[in-house]
A = this chain, B = another copy of it.
Amino acid sequence: MSAEDLRNRPIGIFDSGVGGLTVASEVMRLLPGEHIVYFGDVGRSPYGGRSKETIIAFTRQDINFLLEHNVKYIIAACNSASAAALETVMKEYDIDMLGVIEPGARAAVGYTRNNRVGIIGTKATIASDAYAEAIQRRNSQVKVFSLACPLFVPLVEEGYIEKEATSMIARDYLKTLIDVDIDTLVLGCTHYPLLKAVIGKVMSEAVCLVDSAEETAREVAAVLSLKNMLRPSGDNATRKFYVSDVPDWFSQVAHQFMGRNISSITRVDITRY
């Protein structure tokens, strides 16, 4: 295959549902010329709470589906898959992959000045300890404070972004992190960037918020550029969206995440992959 053929192939992104759309959105913003194939496994969402072997099996199927679309690069825009499966499945495939945890961890280590970093995420992500481990692999001096905020995902999906109840819940959750004097907070869930303003108001202005979606997109842009894999022509980029159950709900929530409507969403039977 010629280098140009490779560059023209789409970037594949998968998530257990809609959360990965924040990553897709950032990729589209930074790399507007890239074709994108997105798979949201809404029929089996959420992955968190499932066993490691189940998440690995699901991740393989998600990757197999994307490979059928001839992708040149794969983003696991899902914290559960990144934490539980990526290390294992990466070795099984001959294609570059990136999860959302490494870029978030790398950024946190870079931003912190007082070596005190907070991580917020779903129960499953926090229980996995994946961010804390990734941060301490880079700098064992950094003290990590982890906190699960399980209501943030449903609040975002319900559009409860600028409501007083959401601020109240955020104050309630984040209290413990304020008390321990962190200077950097990782939004370790792909839904959380939509609550950045609320979280920013609750935390002191001096606390740097690390947006995993943004950091991941930036790293993808850097890697593709370095490897000369960026699509040469910026026009006519196609974005294709696939889901594993009825697309109605995905379509409604997608608008919230992308700030735009998604015209075509196709349903696939992911268990065939």
Contacts and interface: CB of A to CB of B under 8 A. Distances in A.
Interface stretch (A2-10, A47-55, A101-109, A218-226): A47-55
A270 B172 CA distance: 38
A196 to B, nearest CB: 19
A168 B158 contact: no
Interface in A120-153: 123, 150-151, 153
| This chain's copy number in the assembly | 2
Contacts of A165: 165-166, 168-169, 172
Nearest to A250: B49
A169 B49 CA distance: 26
A158 B123 CA distance: 11
Interface string A239-270: 00000011001000000000000000000000
Given A43-B50, A164-B168, A168-B168, 19 more contacts: A42-B49, A44-B44, A49-B245, A49-B246, A49-B249, A50-B246, A51-B245, A51-B246, A54-B245, A150-B154, A150-B158, A151-B151, A151-B154, A151-B155, A151-B160, A153-B154, A163-B168, A165-B169, A165-B172
12 contacts: A44-B44, A49-B246, A49-B249, A50-B245, A54-B245, A151-B160, A163-B169, A163-B172, A165-B166, A165-B168, A165-B172, A168-B168
